[in-house]
A and B are shown apart, each in its own frame.
Chain A
Amino acid sequence: MSGSVTWNETTPTIAGSKLHLMRGGSGRAVLVLHHDIGTPERLPFYDTLARSFDVLVPHHPGWGKSERPQWLRSVRDIAAIHSWMLSDLGLSDVSLVGLGFGGWIAAEMASQAPNAYRKLVLVGAMGIKPPQGDIADQAIVSYLDYPHAGFHDRAAFTRVYGDVSTDQLEQWDICREMVFRTAWKPYMYSQTLPHLLGGVKTPALVVWGDDDQHVPKSAGDAYVKALRNARLETLAACGHYVDMEKPDELARLVSTFVNAN
């Protein structure tokens, strides 16, 4: 099935650094923003979406194959880089799909351009201080324990990562370093973002796994409250990495929502 989608790789230079961008499919443009632990090059979720949309999956600056801008300090910096990339590509009416940490980036992008995007999908998004509970601290657990905890079903983790290679562990260390460089304090949220989301005119869908061990669902409720036009969908028997654990369900939710007027 995934063979039917052709992905093209480009490396646009944004703010002085090369960004790794995968692009596949056709239709309305959907920018997918990956998790704090980076992303495998291909995922069933991306392929499924690309059968209906023009899907863009950049590696965040400093993550994966994207160069690290040494000056980068915040999630707002990352948001600005992705906005710059979309602008350079001449894309408009783009929908944003933010996964976990990428959800925080998507929310920042929307708050900076309240009218600019077609739809906003936030999946287990970091970025808001959860009214109840705390966002899991990856600094004190191992490279395996952290992603493990983000899956409801360990089999789903194994399906994606298999026997984790040393290359992958090294990548996770680099991802973690980038999280520290951009989201150390307060850890994984912005104190000002909730106050800026009220202006966002883009309709928003907030998706949460009912067993998200990384970001408490109360943060999802807080997003729905802070945004002007948002609703919450909860997926049963699902952890934080909804895109990897329930790819078809998430793709269906995204497709329906993006295509709706």
Chain B
Amino acid sequence: MHLMYFTEQPMAAYDAKEGLNYGATALTFSNKHYDPVAASRLYNEFLEEYIMADEWGVDGIMLNEHHNAPFCMQARTNVFGAILAAVTKNAKIVFLGNPLPLSDNPVQLAEEIAMIDMISKGRVVSGFVRGGGQEQLANGVNPAYNRERFVEAHDLITKIWTEPGPFRWEGTHYQHRVVNPWAVPLQKPYPRVWIPGVLSRETVIWTAQQRYPYIALNTAIDATKTIWDTYSKAAKDVGYEAGPENFGYLIRVHVQDTEEKAMQNARQFMWMQGEFTGLAHPVWANPSGYFSPSGRRGFVEFAVGRAKNPRGQPSFEEQVHDTMIVAGTPDQVIKRLKYLIEHTRPGIMGLWGNDGTVSAVDRRRCIELLVKEVMPAVKEHGKTLGLKDPWEANAPVHLRYSTDIPVQRAAAE
């Protein structure tokens, strides 16, 4: 199993009452509440914590990006990735991921990721995401072409990584007349690509068709199994059997020496009123054209307050009960995580350790216990369950590099 440490890098140094009074903590919640002195301190603390996690032996450090909101301080995932490439030694740098549609220049993204791969001596996992609805709005990017841009940017970047330039790209959303960056990835054929997501069935199917691992973000056990089923069926349709190496799972875990402290800190996972991406108007999260047309009818009723959030709004207690939040002493957490992996069988797992206003001292203790005690025990149990990560399974980077699908191999040649 591959076990990663993740934090949203919360920017908790603002008056929480301001967000509640305004009624939103995303997109239009004013950055006049942003304190750059506190943020400078936090950035450096988070960086020190990543370095500690690497020194203690974590498999991977998972990074992401969001915009216009206090729940995540990373506005460019590649910035932290580039720093970690230089200051960490062993951990994989796992981007989950670069939001492709936000870029008007995927060539530059391909260059940046290649640079980070070389500087890190081949430690990059290059996840790609569509980016949430409000990320499109925060960046002035058309949500109606989000999926088209995602697929086209992906195709352009992987072509850059696998075929010598110069070449022309005359696509629908991207046109580049001289594609020939003098920066290509160290890893061949290209860094592993993992695709994280929450509920988009179309993305799950596309991911399976590429044979990329799909990382379910904080989904409940049942929803996770549904995702795996969708993936497995799509995998079968293109000729391979999906296994644990195709599945990843991000779960919120807070561990401390005492259960009381762990539970108290774990409540900070709810600091955005239970919304992962901040308290927001529904149409920010799903601007027209962004969402699958199949969900249109249910969504419009929710957006005007006539229906409940289709994702539900489980309480902290319900989430602990449903194993969407795991908290406790190392022994308690290990027991819970063993149960979780027995039921979901992922080869990749992200442990989202800290959120909200958890103190630096507690964050660090949590990371230390996660990396030194929890992760080794989970990995050991994973071994007995046959849960291999993509490296252990020697999985192909993309479907076209499969050695177990004769037709595909012929097509690639």
Which residues of A come within 8 Å of B, CB atoms? 139-144, 164, 166, 169-170, 172-174, 176-177, 179-181, 184-185
Contacts and interface: CB of A to CB of B under 8 A. Distances in A.
Nearest to B284: A140
Contacts of A177: 144, 288-289
Contacts of B282: 142
A184 B145 CA distance: 11
A147 B31 CA distance: 29
B142 A184 contact: yes
Nearest to A171: B300
Interface residues of B, number: 23
A169 B287 contact: no
Given A177-B144, A180-B287, A139 B137 contact: yes
A176 B289 CA distance: 8
Given A143-B283, A184-B142, 12 more contacts: A142-B281, A142-B283, A143-B304, A166-B301, A166-B306, A169-B300, A169-B303, A172-B300, A173-B288, A173-B299, A180-B288, A184-B144
A180 B281 contact: no
A142 B297 contact: no
Nearest to A179: B288
Nearest to B301: A166
A141 B284 CA distance: 8
Contacts of A141: 281, 283
Is the contact region of chain A dominated by helix, strand, or loop, or is it mixed?
helix
A139 B304 CA distance: 14
A173 B300 contact: yes
Contacts of A172: 300
A142 B303 contact: yes
B304 A142 contact: yes
A156 to B, nearest CB: 19
Interface in B17-31: 27-28
A193 to B, nearest CB: 20
Interface string B292-319: 0000110111011010000000000000
A170 B296 contact: yes
B131 interface: no
B140 A185 contact: yes
A167 to B, nearest CB: 9
A170 B283 contact: no
B143 A180 contact: yes
Interface of B: 27-28, 137, 140, 142-145, 281-284, 287-289, 296-297, 299-301, 303-304, 306
Contacts of B299: 173
A144 B302 CA distance: 12
A143 B300 contact: yes
B304 A169 contact: yes
Given A176-B288, A177-B288, A180-B288, A140 B283 contact: yes
23 contacts: A139-B287, A141-B283, A142-B283, A166-B297, A166-B300, A166-B301, A169-B303, A170-B297, A170-B300, A172-B300, A173-B288, A174-B288, A174-B296, A176-B287, A177-B289, A179-B288, A180-B142, A180-B144, A180-B288, A181-B142, A184-B142, A184-B144, A185-B142
A184 B282 CA distance: 19
B104 to A, nearest CB: 11
Nearest to A146: B283
A144 B281 CA distance: 13
A144 B297 CA distance: 15
Contacts of B301: 166, 169
Contacts of B306: 166
Nearest to B27: A140
A181 B282 CA distance: 20
A79 B311 CA distance: 41
Q: Which of B142, B282, B289 counts the most chain A CB atoms within 10 A?
A: B289
A140 B288 CA distance: 10
Contacts of A139: 137, 143, 283, 287-288
Contacts of A180: 142-144, 287-289
A189 to B, nearest CB: 15
A140 B144 contact: no
A171 to B, nearest CB: 9
Contacts of A164: 304
A4 B252 CA distance: 66
A143 B296 CA distance: 12
Contacts of B27: 140
A174 B300 CA distance: 10
A180 B286 CA distance: 13
Contacts of B284: 140
A170 B306 CA distance: 13
Nearest to B133: A139
Contacts of A169: 300-301, 303-304
B28 to A, nearest CB: 7
Contacts of A181: 142, 144-145, 289
Nearest to B145: A181
A15 B82 CA distance: 49
Contacts of B140: 185
Contacts of A143: 283, 300, 303-304
B296 A173 contact: yes
Contacts of A174: 288, 296
A180 B141 CA distance: 10
